[in-house]
Amino acid sequence: MFESSGFWVSVWPIIIGMIICVIASVNVKATFKKYSDVHNSRGITGAQAARQILDSNGLYNVGIEFISGNLTDHYDPTANVIRLSESVYNSTSAAAVGVAAHECGHAVQHAVGYTPIKIRQAVIPLTNFGSKLWYIVFIAGLALSSTAFGSTLVMVGILLFALVVLFQLVTLPVEFNASRRALQTLENYHILDGDELSSAGKVLRAAAMTYVAAVANAILQLLRLLAIANRKR
């Protein structure tokens, strides 16, 4: 049976982390929906804007594909293709063009060898390994907490989860830089102007907050694991 203080040490980071992530998710969806009604004066679609941006950077070999879903847009460096969702591909809204430009930002990052994205790519295998095993190792360690081996397993579990936190931290500069590149490109090539550019910026900033929320959530969970480990000593 949990002691009251111990129970809250285990639960409060989960609750706060969930609240932060839900708020960020709701905000980005609401912001995208709001500025989906602001259409650009040139009548250019998300896919057309992406093609123009890629070609302007000499990335003629990067493809653009349609993908189902809402805000499922992403750049796949393995296939060298940008996939744009239903709400972006054929839409002429400032929000859609902003999202498309953001994904182009990731393609440009890979092309120019942007250091943070290199680091992120390098830690992905470690992150995948840590995300799959940390919970099993940590729980096994708690079950054997009365032994030295159990304490070691607990710390190994925490270190594996720390790899997940590292990935989230490295992702932040990658996403913020992609958005900055996107807005600069949209302005420099006059794809969006005035209020249209401002609308796209608000959408991208809201999207960036989801990554900030993910980092905050991951750090809270790491603190939670450390607190549990400390209680078991």
Catalytic residue among 3, 65, 86, 103: 103
- How many Å apart are CA 73 and CA 100, to the nearest integer? 8
Task: List the beta strands (DSSP E) in 58-209.
Answer: 63-66, 74-76, 81-84
Q: How many residues does the chain have?
A: 233
214, 18 contact by CB (below 8 A): no
Q: Which strands form 74-76's sheet, in the order they lie side by side?
A: 63-66, 81-84, 74-76
62, 81 contact by CB (below 8 A): yes
Instruction: Report the DSSP beta bridge partners of residue 84.
Output: 66
**65 flagged as catalytic:** no
117 Cα distance to chain centroid: 12
- How many Å apart are CA 215 and CA 78, to the nearest integer? 25
Cα angle: 84, vertex 52, 54; to 5 degrees: 70
Q: Catalytic site residues? A: 103
